[in-house]
Amino acid sequence: MRDTQLIIGNKNYSSWSLRAWLCLKKSGVQFEEIVLPLDTPEFDRLIGNYSPTRCVPVLCDQGRVIWDSLAICEYSNERFAGGKLWPEDSESRAMGRSMACEMHSGFPRLRSKMPMNCRALKRVVSVDSSLREDIDRMVSLLESCLARHAQQGPWLLGQFSITDAMFAPVVMRIRTYGIAVPHSLELYCRALLSDPDVETWMTAARQEKWVVAQDEAGE
């Protein structure tokens, strides 16, 4: 058993788990992964052994318990990545932090009506005006961030950052639900989906057999 364990939900559906997992991967630390399938008696039986909130993700690192995705991303940055998961430029960092926090607390319609579902494709959900508002906000936010950092690299803030991890599940949704996006954002989606760590996650998600009925949205 490793000293560092990340407890996550199903890779196919658990968007909060993906965010924390990706930051840990990018920080280079070796960690043990424990998958507790969401919405199962097993999850209910075991989650209390790890998580004070009974939610995933939760990180157990040398006796410390760190819960909540954004806290795990920040902890990974400080403890394992030497601060490299935020850019040096304070303006970019401020923008990235605002975006990460907006993702963490916002986009309620996008999250509930278009749940992350990595293995699904060509799903159609009806887009009402409130969902459209979330989609439009997400597209304009990502597009302007990419335009601002285009000279520094392919990620949202140039180099990979916590902001990319927070928005990775949004890219999954763009793909699953066929959301039309501008060219620069389309290129970003392709780059993120072909990242080796993201591919590893996707491959594992496709192999899972669990189905969470309420997260199977769309026709």
Ligand X SMILES: N[C@@H](CCC(=O)N[C@@H](CS)C(=O)NCC(=O)O)C(=O)O
Question: Which residues sit opposite 8 in a β-bridge?
Answer: 35
Indicate the helix (H) or strand (E) that contains 4.
Answer: strand 4-8
| Interacting span for ligand X (CB under 6 A) from 62-70, 92-100, 145-153, 181-189 | 62-70
Query: Angle between the 162-176 and 15-27 helix axes, to the nearest 10 degrees?
Result: 130
N residues, the chain: 219
Among 27, 31, 68, 73, binds ligand X (CB under 6 A): 68
Q: Report if residue 193 touches ligand X, rule: CB under 6 A.
A: no
For residue 3, the 8-state DSSP code is S
Instruction: By CB under 6 A, name the one of 7, 23, 38, 185 that touches ligand X.
Output: 38
Comparing CA positions, the residue from 172, 177, 202 lying closest to residue 188 is 172
Nearer to ligand X, 54 or 132 (CB): 54
Question: Under the criterion CB under 6 A, does residue 16 sit at the interface with ligand X?
Answer: yes
Q: Does 167 bind ligand X (CB under 6 A)?
A: no
- Exactly one of 6, 11, 12, 14 binds ligand X (CB under 6 A); which one? 14
Rounded Cα–Cα distance for residues 78 and 87 (Å): 13
For residue 71, the minimal CB distance to ligand X (Å) is 8
Interacting residue ranges for ligand X, rule: CB under 6 A: 9, 14-17, 38, 54-57, 68-70
